[in-house]
A = this chain, B = another copy of it.
Amino acid sequence: MREVVVAGVGMSEFGLLPDRTLREMGEQAVFKALVDAGMRPRDVQASYYGYCLGKLNGQECMPGHLVLHGLGITSIPIIRIESACASGSVAFREAYRNVAAGLYDIVLAMGLEKMTGSPSADIRRAMAGGADNELEGNLGITFPGVFGLIANRHMHDFGTTREQMALVSVKNRGNAARNPLAQFREPVTVEQVMSSRMIARPLRLLECSALSDGCSAAILTTPEQARRFAAGKPVFVKAAVLGGGQLRDDADLVSFPASARAAREAYEAAGIGPEDVDLAEVHDCFSIAEIVHCEDLGFCAKGEGGKLVESGATRIGGRIPVNPSGGLIGKGHPLGATGVAQVVEVVNQLRGRCGERQVEGAAVGLTQTLGGFSHGDVLSVAVTVLAS
């Protein structure tokens, strides 16, 4: 396997953007990534892209072809990956493996999603299709419901408090306030979080990621090719792991075994341990999710995730900053775009380009993304390790 680097990244603004089309946002993200890598459209040999909810916005199939057509990129293999909320991460992983295996030298990973503009019933129905719709959908156990159960169980087993969960949102919204492309640019307080509308007991509105539009892009290549294009400092992809869930009906709901396994595999591939990670972008679809992930990723012991956020360790400037971009709660969560956007943030952090939200001296970063949930485990988990 060859060494692989990210030579360029880009993303559009994330948010409720009713006037912006998927194509326009996608072109913008790719254009930025090409400029960042010092490449032209014709240098791209293949593209893998994440796109989740084809049901919405009319473009059921293959929007990636249309985005790239706008930039003059045609006649190459362009492949859509769908892995629910992990669609973008899995596309990144496929792009990585193609370059690593020598199948292509320059591959574009994209994340595309346009969630707003559809009737909310359509959106809810589409989202329910990220779990086992026949079983869980018909029982009404939507994603907020699943994470509400997880939160209750975590509080029961480990004494995690409502305040600790709220602090995840306070931290991530605070970080997003320093991210010009984020959806939510206003910080919030613990009091605001805990008095916001109840969504799925005990989770309240400000603890949930919101509907969002946005696109993201990253260009993967070899170190030699990156140098040839005189791009900025390349960032090495040390591991890009896709783990599958075990789908056990006897899961205890305070851990995602697939996530813990994928993390172990990624650490081993990268030759590091969790203590070597300088910052992480993790899948905080709900406040409790970030707490569970910090445990599964080994940033603290099982059950200690609430105390970890309370201690300030996961803030920018803390021991292990988590979601400096603002995360899904602050930056936004356009499903198919999220995984690649996490990579965009880590690459920018490792290059020291994050201004007000820069993690000083960051050399190793990690991304973790969940895709779907069913039968007591997540269906897919992607973990990526990047290093300068």
Contact = CB atoms under 8 A, between A and B. Distances in A.
Interface of A: 21, 23, 51-55, 58-62, 65-66, 69, 74-84, 90, 94, 97-98, 101-103, 125-130, 132-134, 137, 242-247, 258, 261, 371-372, 374-375, 379-380
A129 B90 CA distance: 23
Given A74-B247, A78-B380, A247-B74, A372 B61 contact: yes
Nearest to A378: B65
Contact of A133 (B59, B84, B130, B137): B59
A229 to B, nearest CB: 22
Contacts of A51: 82
Nearest to A66: B132
A242 B258 CA distance: 32
A244 B75 contact: yes
A245 B36 CA distance: 27
14 contacts: A21-B134, A54-B60, A58-B129, A60-B125, A62-B83, A65-B379, A65-B380, A66-B374, A69-B247, A69-B374, A69-B375, A75-B261, A79-B90, A80-B82
Nearest to A55: B55
A128 to B, nearest CB: 8
Given A54-B54, A74-B244, 11 more contacts: A55-B55, A59-B129, A59-B133, A59-B134, A62-B371, A62-B380, A75-B258, A77-B243, A77-B380, A80-B83, A81-B81
A79 B372 contact: no
Nearest to A122: B55
Contacts of A79: 81, 83, 90, 94, 242
Nearest to A22: B134
B61 A245 contact: no
A90 B76 CA distance: 13
A53 to B, nearest CB: 7
A74 B90 CA distance: 17
B81 A80 contact: yes
Most buried by B among A51, A62, A97, A246: A62
A55 B80 CA distance: 16
Nearest to A248: B74
Across the A-B interface, give the 9 residue pairs with the lowest CB-CB distance, nearest first.
A60-B129, A101-B101, A58-B133, A61-B84, A55-B55, A77-B242, A80-B82, A65-B379, A61-B130
A256 to B, nearest CB: 12
Contacts of A52: 61
B58 A125 contact: yes
Contacts of A65: 244-245, 247, 372, 374, 379-380
A372 B78 CA distance: 12
Nearest to A375: B69
A129 B243 contact: no
Contact of A78 (B59, B128, B244): B244
A130 B62 contact: yes
Nearest to A377: B74
Most buried by B among A84, A127, A246, A379: A379
A117 to B, nearest CB: 13
Given A62-B379, A129-B59, A75 B246 contact: yes
